[in-house]
């Protein structure tokens, strides 16, 4: 086997292979486009959800979904992370000692869980 006729070491693609490659691209392009659109929608939903929960935590108080009473996010909290157990004054969102994030806290009036972060 020698070098191809054009002399630069690269053989030209056979015409049938070019047609097959073009047909494969044309047939698969809509699927790739749909897959890309799907991930754009998923990313947009995640950004909107993150923005909602972030803005929610920037407020100093949250309303209980069960009894509708207002609960403050700043106060005396006990961390329930394994190996921590710190009691600290501050925001309910994150332990000041170990940095563990809380996903909920109990309502001071009825004891129902008030979510700090989305479930996903």
Structure tokens at 10: 């690269």
Q: What is the pLDDT of residues 25-52, one digit of tens each?
A: 999 999 999 999 999 999 999 999 888 8
Q: How far apart are CA 102 and CA 80, in angstroms?
A: 9
Say whether 35 sits in a helix, a strand or coil.
helix
pTM check: above 0.85: no
Q: What is the pLDDT of residues 62-104, one digit of tens each?
A: 889 899 999 988 888 888 888 888 888 888 888 888 888 888 8
| CA 99 to centroid of chain Cα atoms | 20
Structure tokens at 80: 């329930």
8 A C-beta contact, residue 116 and residue 92: yes
Q: How far apart are CA 45 and CA 118, in angstroms?
A: 13
């Amino acid at each position: 086997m020698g070098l191809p006729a054009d002399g630069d070491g690269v053989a030209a693609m056979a015409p049938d292979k070019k047609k097959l490659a073009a047909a494969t691209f044309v047939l698969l392009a809509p699927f790739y486009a749909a897959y890309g659109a799907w991930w754009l929608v998923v990313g947009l939903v995640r950004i909107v959800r993150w923005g909602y929960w972030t803005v929610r935590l920037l407020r100093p108080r949250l309303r209980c979904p069960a009894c509708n009473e207002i609960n403050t996010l700043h106060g005396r909290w006990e961390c329930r992370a394994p190996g921590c157990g710190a009691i600290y004054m501050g925001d309910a969102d994150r332990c000041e000692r170990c940095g563990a994030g809380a996903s909920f806290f109990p309502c001071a009036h009825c004891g129902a869980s008030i979510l700090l972060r989305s479930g996903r």
